[in-house]
Amino acid sequence: MTATVPLLTIRHKTEYRYAYPVSFGEHRIMLRPQDGHDLRVVSAALEISPVPEAQRTIHDVFGNSVTIATFGERASRLTFNSTVTVEQMPPDAIALTPDNGAYFYPFLYDSHELPDLMQYITPQYADPDGGISAWGRKFLSDGATTSTLDLLASITHAVRSTFVYRKRHEQGTQHPLDTLYTRSGTCRDYALFMIEVLRRLGLAARFVSGYLVTYSDPGRNYFGGGSTHAWVQVYLPDAGWVEFDPTNGIIGSRDLIRVAVARDPSQAIPLHGTYMGTADAHLSLDVTVDVTTATEGERV
């Protein structure tokens, strides 16, 4: 008898509070997970208060689902409630064998795929003193064959074990050199740093925004919650885009629910928009994320 794959329901609430009613500009929302062979969206609902004057959903340049909302009503609170139920079907292992060209590093990308991968291979941030490059090269084996997966796993675990996770209140993602020199940052900072390291090693890497699933017991029998998260995908011929999470040391898509992929973190922001009012009008921003096992009634 085939085991039933559990459904997961993600409840993501974001609430902005203001000192007085303000006007709102356009808001772009990227909260709907990506459908694929390893992840199926069973249902998705987005409730916004106040109700937008206009709302539409598009696919961006990377194929991500983006909802665009515009508002005609002033309010002192702006709330986004996203409820999504998904079915995860992660592969058991990364499909690479010694017969595959990407099994050993370095390897060459196929000439037919290379033009499409160049935006993910080309470094995007300055490294004038070569610090980022030097940090990545230390994981290469001197005079010996390097396993590509061992190389990627070593880099992933090195960030997790030698960098200190630090919440930042500044907007955006910090420069990879800041992450390197301070040995600290958020999950988005770690992901961008690892991407720039891999690009300097000639590997195609891109940014992923989504959710991390957490468990309430060591046996992984119960889902204890979740959080917004960011990690890295690396393109390996014969294996495709493979997940690597330098914050938690996760390799593969288990525990990770992919929402958006992009060349740069600025292109995969879960929710952003503007308001018209004085700087002191903004009082607070509260975000809560909860991931639970869905009921059988939600299965379709």
Q: What is the pLDDT of residues 125-181, one digit of tens each?
A: 999 999 999 999 999 977 677 899 999 999 999 999 999 999 876 778 999 999 999
Q: CATH number of the domain at 104-267, please? A: 3.10.620.30
Tokens of 233: 């995908």
Tell me the C-alpha to C-alpha distance, in Å, between residue 254 and each of 171, 203, 214.
29, 22, 11
Q: Are domains 7-89+269-295 and 104-267 of this chain identical in fold?
A: no
**CA–CA separation, 291 vs 212, rounded Å?**
9
User: What's residue 1's pLDDT?
Assistant: 35
Fold of 7-89+269-295: Immunoglobulin-like (2.60.40)
Contact 24, 78 (CB under 8 A): yes
Domain definitions of the chain by residue range: 7-89+269-295, 104-267
Tell me the C-alpha to C-alpha distance, in Å, between residue 52 and each of 20, 31, 140, 256, 271.
19, 17, 52, 31, 15
User: What's residue 77's pLDDT?
Assistant: 98
Tell me the C-alpha to C-alpha distance, in Å, between residue 7 and each of 81, 88, 103, 296.
19, 7, 33, 8
Tokens of 137: 């090269």
The ranges of the chain with pLDDT < 70 are 1-5, 143, 169, 215-224, 295-300
**CA–CA separation, 270 vs 75, rounded Å?**
22
Q: Nearest 10 degrees: CA dihedral of 226, 189, 248, 291?
A: 10
User: What's residue 94's pLDDT?
Assistant: 85
User: What's residue 300's pLDDT?
Assistant: 36
The count of residues in the chain is 300
